[in-house]
């Protein structure tokens, strides 16, 4: 049975209940409530004694304080229902005490009544300004005080009751608003049961967000329509009533309209979807649900018309998403499984997961996951279920074996996942066997690198290309420069290089940063002053994810000394050879002079015979020419 509601949407039952509560709150005496606490703050003991005696006789629990500071503290602790406050007190006077009470979030709801001998209007005004609810002048008349106390307690109680009831009424109103979204059949039954409540029906009819129309089942004409239906066709109610419903639907839906009329005449519900267009021409889909309905005593059809274009688009998107998920699920290279978090059993698995573990999909769904997981990981599996149940992600690695004994490593990442209406775990399983093998190879390479790095006779250092600082150095480098390992890492490389070579160090950094090799020689000194000569060869190098330079430093002092000795010997040999050549030249000149003497003697002897002279001395001339 639907409850009659007023124009504000509240039920008559709710309003009558509220009225009874308000009436009972107004008629109840505050003193009927046990344990009502009144705090009296007054610096005069006599006043406190009189107040305590009188109020306790009236059934109140009385608390006292002799000054403003203790009164505030007592109020915070006891949370009284009302405070009687003297104005004139040493220290904090009544006005300041009241001001602090009203500024305290724990106390500002407690009513404060001033008690004072002051009768001036200004003092009363000030009392109300600081937050008092009333003002009683001394001497105090007990009946007047009691009346005012009861008045303000009653007001407080009534205010609390109204707030409580207001909250209840708001909740009731929300419930009524939700009722407006009931299914068409429920709405029809409510309308039939409350057909005499015309105004309520009209209110619901106009406020519902879906289109509502009442159709004469004999003529098929519209009898009335709500605002939502008018807006749906961008026409006024008068315009719609002058049109036949067939004029508002596509011609291919006319048969469905006739079926609606015949079905309602048979007192049955009717449901269908039709496709038409918005007034602006865009296509839409309308869902129509019609039920038998009596309108002004005439058998009619009440039809709810809902634009389900967005819903259909969403359903299409969901179907597409499901198809995409299934396509990805079936074809992704990683293994995918959905696991029931309550039983721990597999609900579904993709082909990659089955192939990874060496089973068919039919076989693997019949197995308990603990049959696939090595015993060493059984506790880990339980921890995984609990973690995902708590809404958290879970990640681990595991070493597994196929049925044929082949070992393989997997990486598992699991997240909470809604599978149908059930909370499950979606796990992505990746075969990381190759990665593990690579990591093992890298570890072996690291060990080999470290062994070579530590034991090679040449110095090896790794330098950060951003800062230019040493990151590590091998023992040979430390010994070469005469420092311990910890000492040399605290030094900047420029501390080890002669000042005149500092520009060369910057050139080295720039070259290696550009991806080029760098080679040079340098003269250095150990801390004790011993000079030594080094040869440096540097290449770009990745170290702990950073761009660095790997430098090979060789002590070439001995080689340089040998090269110097060889150069000195070569110089002495070259000097000796020059002297030898000079001596040879003198000997040749002497031989030439001897030959010339012989030629002159022969010329003198044969001067009278030119032909004989020429023939006889021709060989000497030839030898002399060849020597020249």
Tell me how far apart the alpha carbons of residues 321 and 317 are, in angstroms, rounded to a whole number: 6
Region 9-32 average pLDDT: 46
pLDDT band at 174 (very low <50, low <70, confident <90, very high): confident
pLDDT at res. 590: 72
Instruction: With both helix axes pointing from N to C terminus, report the angle between 68-78 and 94-103 in degrees, rounded to the nearest 10.
Output: 30
Higher confidence at residue 32 or residue 292? 292
pLDDT at res. 620: 58
Higher confidence at residue 330 or residue 480? 480
pLDDT tens by residue, 505-562? 899 999 999 999 999 988 888 899 899 999 999 999 998 889 999 999 999 988 888 8
Q: Flag whether pLDDT at 216 surpasses 60.
A: yes
Higher confidence at residue 177 or residue 397? 397
- Edge-to-edge order in the sheet of strand 134-137: 61-65, 37-41, 82-86, 112-116, 134-137
CB 348 within 8 A of CB 337: yes
CA-based nearest residue to 190, from 76, 303, 301, 293: 293
CATH topology of domain 456-555: Beta-Lactamase (3.30.450)
Tell me how far apart the alpha carbons of residues 311 and 309 are, in angstroms, rounded to a whole number: 5
Which residue matches tokens 């009335």? 224
pLDDT at res. 15: 46
Which residue matches tokens 């044929």? 404
Tell me how far apart the alpha carbons of residues 358 and 403 are, in angstroms, rounded to a whole number: 6
Region 589-617 average pLDDT: 63
Q: Residue 495's CB: how many other CB atoms inside 10 A?
A: 9
pLDDT band at 623 (very low <50, low <70, confident <90, very high): low
pLDDT band at 340 (very low <50, low <70, confident <90, very high): very high
Q: Residue 499's CB: how many other CB atoms inside 10 A?
A: 7
Q: Would you state the structure tokens that stand for residue 171, as one six-digit string? A: 């909740």
pLDDT band at 411 (very low <50, low <70, confident <90, very high): very high
Tell me how far apart the alpha carbons of residues 102 and 92 are, in angstroms, rounded to a whole number: 14
Secondary structure of 487-528 as H, E, C letters? HHHHCCHHHHCCHHHHHHHHHHHHHHHCCCCEEEEEEEECCC
pLDDT at res. 144: 86
Task: Give the residue range(s) of CATH 3.30.450.20 domains in the chain.
Answer: 184-307, 332-436, 456-555
pLDDT at res. 64: 94
CATH of domain 332-436: 3.30.450.20
Tell me how far apart the alpha carbons of residues 304 and 215 are, in angstroms, rounded to a whole number: 11
Q: By mean pLDDT, which of 181-190, 240-249, 333-342 is the weakest?
A: 181-190
pLDDT at res. 498: 84
Beta bridge partners of 400: 408
Q: Tell me how many helices (H) and strands (E) the chain has.
A: 23, 20
Beta-strand ranges (E) seen in 97-178 are 112-116, 134-137
pLDDT at res. 625: 54
Q: Flag whether pLDDT at 627 surpasses 60.
A: no
The CATH class for the domain spanning 12-172 reads alpha beta
Q: Flag whether pLDDT at 26 surpasses 50.
A: no
Q: Residue 194's CB: how many other CB atoms inside 10 A?
A: 16
Higher confidence at residue 188 or residue 140? 140
Q: By mean pLDDT, which of 341-350, 483-492, 543-552, 611-620 is the weakest?
A: 611-620
pLDDT at res. 186: 73
pLDDT at res. 17: 47
Largest CA distance in the chain: 188
pLDDT at res. 455: 87
pLDDT band at 610 (very low <50, low <70, confident <90, very high): low
pLDDT at res. 195: 62
CATH topology of domain 184-307: Beta-Lactamase (3.30.450)
CB 302 within 8 A of CB 191: yes
């Amino acid at each position: 049975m639907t409850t009659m509601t007023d124009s504000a949407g509240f039920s008559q039952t709710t309003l009558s209940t509220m009225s009874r509560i308000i009436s009972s709150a107004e008629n109840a005496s505050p003193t009927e409530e046990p344990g009502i606490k009144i705090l009296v703050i007054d610096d005069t003991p006599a006043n406190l004694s009189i107040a305590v005696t009188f109020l306790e006789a009236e059934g109140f629990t009385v608390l006292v304080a002799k000054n403003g500071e203790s009164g505030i503290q007592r109020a915070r602790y006891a949370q009284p229902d009302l405070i009687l406050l003297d104005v004139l007190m040493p220290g904090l006077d009544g006005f300041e005490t009241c001001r602090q009470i009203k500024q305290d979030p724990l106390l500002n709801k407690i009513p404060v009544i001033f008690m004072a001998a002051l009768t001036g209007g200004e003092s009363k005004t000030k009392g109300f300004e600081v937050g008092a609810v009333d003002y009683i002048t001394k001497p105090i008349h007990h009946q007047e005080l009691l009346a005012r106390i009861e008045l303000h307690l009653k007001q407080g109680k009534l205010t609390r009751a109204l707030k409580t009831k207001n909250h209840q009424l708001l909740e009731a109103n929300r419930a009524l608003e939700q009722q407006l979204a009931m299914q068409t059949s429920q709405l029809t039954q409510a309308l039939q049961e409350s057909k005499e409540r015309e105004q309520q029906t009209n209110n619901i009819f106009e406020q519902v967000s879906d289109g509502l129309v009442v159709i004469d089942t004999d003529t098929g004409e519209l009898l009335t329509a709500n605002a939502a239906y008018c807006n749906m066709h961008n026409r006024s109610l008068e315009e719609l009533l002058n049109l036949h419903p067939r004029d508002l639907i596509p011609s291919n839906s006319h048969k469905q309209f006739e079926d609606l009329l015949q079905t309602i005449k048979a007192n049955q519900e009717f449901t269908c979807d039709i496709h038409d267009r918005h007034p602006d021409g865009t296509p839409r889909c309308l869902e129509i649900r019609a039920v038998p309905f009596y309108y002004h005593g005439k058998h009619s059809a009440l039809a709810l018309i809902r634009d389900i274009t967005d819903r259909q688009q969403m359903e299409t998107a969901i179907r597409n998403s499901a198809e995409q998920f299934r396509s990805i699920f079936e074809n992704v290279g990683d293994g995918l499984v959905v696991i029931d978090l309550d039983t721990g059993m597999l609900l579904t698995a993709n082909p990659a997961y089955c192939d990874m573990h060496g089973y068919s999909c039919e076989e693997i769904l019949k197995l308990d996951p603990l049959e696939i997981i090595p015993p060493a990981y059984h506790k880990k599996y339980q921890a995984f279920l609990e973690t995902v149940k708590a809404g958290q992600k879970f990640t681990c690695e595991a070493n597994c074996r196929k049925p044929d004994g082949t070992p393989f490593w997997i990486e598992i990442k699991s997240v909470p996942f809604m599978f149908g209406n059930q909370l499950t775990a979606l796990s992505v399983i990746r075969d990381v066997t190759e990665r593990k093998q690579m990591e093992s190879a890298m570890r072996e390479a690291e060990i080999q690198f470290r062994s070579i790095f530590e034991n090679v006779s040449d110095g090896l250092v790794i330098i950060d290309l951003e800062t230019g600082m040493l990151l590590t150095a091998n023992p040979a480098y430390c010994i070469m420069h005469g420092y311990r390992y910890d000492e040399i890492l605290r030094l900047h490389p420029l501390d080890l290089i002669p000042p005149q070579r500092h520009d060369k160090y910057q050139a080295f950094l720039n070259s290696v940063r550009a991806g080029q090799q760098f080679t040079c020689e340098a003269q250095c000194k150990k801390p004790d002053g011993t000079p030594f000569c080094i040869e440096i060869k540097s290449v770009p190098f990745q170290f702990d994810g950073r761009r660095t330079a790997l430098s090979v430093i060789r002590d070439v002092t001995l080689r340089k000394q040998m090269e110097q000795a060889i150069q000195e010997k070569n110089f002495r040999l070259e000097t000796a050879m020059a002297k030898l050549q000079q001596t040879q030249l003198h000997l040749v000149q002497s031989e030439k002079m001897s030959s010339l003497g012989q030629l002159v003697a022969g010329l003198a002897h044969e001067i009278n015979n030119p032909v004989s002279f020429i023939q006889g001395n021709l060989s000497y001339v030839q030898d002399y020419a060849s020597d020249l």
